[in-house]
Every structure is written in C-alpha cells, then in structure tokens.
Chains A and B, each alone.
With several copies, the nearest count.
Chain A
C-alpha cells in the first residue's frame, strides 16, 4: 500500500476499469494529448490510444450527448468535464437525456456512464468558475451523485461508478487532486450510497462532503482542544443519501451542523436538515444549523473570497451555537 495523490487514485480507477472492460472509454477536453488539464488522465492516451482516450472540441452539450448515445448503444463512457461549471451549457443532456431516457422508454434503454470532473470553487476563479452543483444534480431523478473527499474513497467509488448501470455524476476538486493518502494497490470497491464516519464523537454531528470534510476536520481538531468531540459523517454519495447513518449519529449527539459548499437555498444542507428534523425530531436538542457559502456569487478579491468560503471558524461558531456554548 503506497501513498497516492487523489489524481493518481482516479487514474488508477479508470485505468483498471478500462483494462477490465473494453466498453469503457473516456472523452473530454484535453484528456488525451495534453494528458488532462489537471493531469488526471496522464499517460492514458499512451496506454489505450486515441479510440478510447479522446480529445473533444469545447462542445459540452455535444460530447455529453455523444456519451449518452454511446451508453444507450452498449458502451460505458466516462465523460470528463474540465470543470462542472462548463457542464452547464450541456446540462440538458444530463438532466433530460441521461436521467430520463430509461424511464421514458419504459426501461428498454440502459445508460451506464460517468460524468466526472472538478466541482465547486478552487480559489479566486471568479463567479462563473466556482459553483458547487451537487444539489442541482441530486435534485433531478435518474442520476446518482457522488462527491469524493479523499484519494481512498475516490478510487473505490469511481470504480463502482464505472461499473454501475446508471448515469453517475462524479464530483472532484482541483484543490484535492494533489492530496495524498494511502491507497491499496489491490482492487477494492466502495459501495455507492453508503456514508462513512470519518471521526468519532459524541457531542455534535458534523455532516460534510467533498472538500468540506477537510474543513470539518480542522474545526473538529480545534473543538477537541475545547473539550468538544465532533462526529464527522461523510455521506460520500449525495444521491442516494445515507440518511440512516446521520440519524444514528444524531440519536447519540442530539446536535447537527451540516457543512456544504453549495449555496444555501435548497442545497444539500437544506435537504439533510429537512430529513433529520422530520425523521429524528425527538432527538434534537437544538435547531440544525448549516455552514455554506453565502447566497452570492464567488467574488474575485482575495479577502472577499476568504470571507465567502466556508471556514473552520464558521463551523466552530455553528457548533458553539447548537451546543449552547455562546
């Protein structure tokens, strides 16, 4: 077992699955000759050639739809978006075609494919390049949505996603691509729809996914010094969401803070909060709080961006509120 970067874990997952199943191929902007805008697909063209590792024009609607068509007709495409901000111009192919054709055809059509790429903000990239889309994709039935937080989860989940017969939205982050973690060399799969407790604690439950898991971890370390043991739950899959794991934790902690990089209105935090108040009402000793980006587009200026981005301090403040310590 060796330390591997997030991008290496993703590459291993894709490479292993492409060796295993020749129906799997990948296409996207700069994935082939350029070795990937963020070097995730480095070396894959050399191994698999231009028929299975394919550079596309800047035509997100076009190549996303080509992927859906190829999946309908027996292939298992991986469509890489340079970032999910750019998938917006092609989103009709995802939320209408990929998500609904199986249902409209009465189950005649199978659409086994993965749409993957970086999601949410990555520093000062401005308003159009910093959006977290997980709640949008989770809102529309027919899709599975995954947001991996670390290399180990990323590899196991991406392999499961590629083998899954549903269209899967697989979200990553430019900012975690370089992050390292022990990743087994032998094959392993992580089941879709199962969350994991990333830190045990009994005083408060923190639900966080993707990049936010690390923000929650930093906050938990601070809180620990303060005698507060936070339990961190990473759902890993946004849809289907492992709400039972959260309920179990809340039954123990009676307090919940959700950390979510989405905008607040109808974000993942709103959904999880709603379900918990509905299904664990009697176990709550305090209102559920959320820590999200504010309801404004990402600003460019460094200072404003830092204010905008959810910080450990924001999480700590929320925890102090739900534990009535301030």
Chain B
C-alpha cells in the first residue's frame, strides 16, 4: 500500500502493538492463590483439553466433516480456565461466538461439544446452534452469541435477575476487542453502573478484530471505555493463568459484596486465523513468534515442572488421556444421529403445538 495512501487515509495504519502490550504477570504462586496440586493439574488438563479439542476440530473441519464457521480460541485458554476456576459453579457466564474454550472450561463435555460442531442431536445445543452457539444453561453457561456486541445487555440482564432474587451471584460477560465499538457497550455500561448490577464485563483483547488491529478500530485505550461511568476497571495479562485467577477471585468477591460492575481488559492473543478462511496476512511472523513465547499452556507446564508439582511423564499421561478423550468425542459425534426432521419445528416457541404459518 503506497505511502501517499497511508498518509491520506482515515483509518490509522499499522501500530498493532498499541493496546496489546502485556502487563506483568502476577508473582503469586499456586499456593498463595490457594490452588491445590491436583487442582493445578486439573487446570493444566482443562487448558490442554480446549487446545486439543480445537486442533482436532480444525482437522475435522478441513476434512469436511462439518460446515458453518469455525473460530478457534487457541492461545486464549488461560482466560477461560482461570475464570472458571475463580467463579462459583452457579455464577453466570455469557460470551461471544469464539466460545468453545469457555464452554469446555465451564464443563461442557467434549462429546457434547464435538457433536454440536457436527450438528448432531447429542450436541450441547442439540445441533441447533453449531460452533458459534454452545450453550449449557444448567452449568450457567448462557451461550456463545454471534452478533458482535449484542450479548452485552444480556449479561446485564442476567445479573439483574440475580439481583432481583437477592442472589449474591456474579455474572461475567466476555466479548472481543472489536465489540468495544458497538453502541451496546455504551448503553449496557451506563445501565449496569446506574443500576449497580453485579456484572463483570471482560474484553478479550486478542489484538485483532478479524484483520483489523485494535489501533485501527478503536480510539484510545480499550479499558478507558469504563471511565465515563466511573466503572471499576483494570488491565491484566491474559496469557498467565495465575494472573487471571488472582484477578477474578478478587473481582468476584468485590462484586458479591458491593454489587458494582467492573470492566476487565484481558490481553491475550489468537494464534489461529479469525476463522478457518483467514490467511492472517495482517500480522507478521515476528509478532506471532513473540506471542508464541507466552503460550499459556507451555507457561503452566514449565511452572509445574520447575516446581516439581508433576514430572514430564505425569503431564504426558494427562495429555494422552485428553487425546483419547477427544478422539472418542469425534467418534461419538460422527456416530451420533442428526436431529429428527421434526426438530425443525421444535424449540422455536415454548409451545410444541404452535400453529406455524405455511
């Protein structure tokens, strides 16, 4: 693209690093965070499960085993895993369409997740939702949502319902850096602060909105979107599991006590393309390499080994178990039935006898 063009253009060019510098990770240890050894290994397993689930899903997608969009979470697993660890089982979570990681971390079985990708009746949304719409309401996972920014008010509403019932529960609403530019943010933040709703808004800042770097789509620092409302806010390193856990444990406790909203910008990175069709020409190999050195799973692995919480063999054992689990999930998904044809007219309305227009 010619120099002249750059000079004359409306949208800023380059400058990806703005808003993506990683804050320092916490110095805390698993002990000081109250994480037991087996919990720690469970967290490793949790992250690794998400990683392998998606790597395999990508293979299946390329083999043409299922259709639709496929947005991979690979690189961002510390957030989903740490967030789930920090929250109670009955706290509420709602997220965007890049939802496999959060869904699995929240407890959607790999079988149900894989089957959903394949559009089978055994899927976590009965095959009606697909990759972008994982749901598990029993686990208080209110789904992946595909209209950018449209679920921000839903997060506030879920929190409002909890507050109306005087339940001291936290609702966490996750969205991407690109969603920050939707008007729904202004409206939801103002209402959440004005009404003191117990909701935590989380920007998953992975540096890009599709091919557009944060610097090219948002003026100012993302976390500053909290300023007009006097909303509590912070920026954290999203590649470090302990940092995520520390932050959300603290925030969750605060919210339970004062029922005030927060905005947390979590800086992370997406190792894969926006979706399977994205070649990713908008970023450099160097940038990718640099962020690879922050891989949240490698990081945790190193911590576990260096602190002799487990040895290579133990971790390999866990990994192999997961690999098996994923392969079984694929088998399960392939062998599961598609929804019955009648399902086309089910679950649209509450009533199964709704008189559909012909």
Contacts and interface: CB of A to CB of B under 8 A. Distances in A.
Classify A-B as touching or not with yes or no (CB < 8 A). yes
Contact of B129 (A56, A66, A300, A302): A300
A240 B355 contact: yes
A106 B150 contact: no
B347 A106 contact: yes
Interface in A66-109: 66-75, 85-86, 88-89, 92-93, 96-97, 101-109
Contacts of A141: 348
B127 A62 contact: no
B312 interface: no
A73 B164 CA distance: 11
A123 interface: yes
Contacts of B345: 294, 296
A165 B8 contact: no
A68 B153 contact: yes
B165 A264 contact: no
Interface in A46-60: 46, 49-51, 54-59
Interface in B309-337: none
B133 A126 contact: yes
Interface stretch (A13-21, A29-37, A202-210, A216-224): A29-37
A196 interface: no
Nearest to A271: B357
B282 A304 contact: no
Interface string B64-98: 00111100000000000000000000001010000
A226 interface: no
Contacts of B158: 69-70, 72-73
Contacts of A164: 350
Contacts of A97: 145, 147, 150-151, 154
A61 B154 CA distance: 10
B128 A106 contact: yes
Nearest to B184: A61
Given A105-B129, A301-B128, A304-B343, A57 B191 contact: yes
Nearest to A77: B157
A299 interface: yes
- Across the A-B interface, the 10 shortest Cβ-Cβ residue pairs: A50-B9, A69-B157, A65-B153, A62-B187, A106-B126, A107-B347, A300-B130, A165-B350, A57-B181, A73-B161
Interface of B: 1-2, 4-6, 8-11, 13, 66-69, 92, 94, 119-121, 123-130, 132-133, 135-137, 142-143, 145-162, 164-165, 178-179, 181-184, 186-188, 190-191, 194-195, 209-212, 216-218, 282, 338-339, 341, 343-351, 354-358
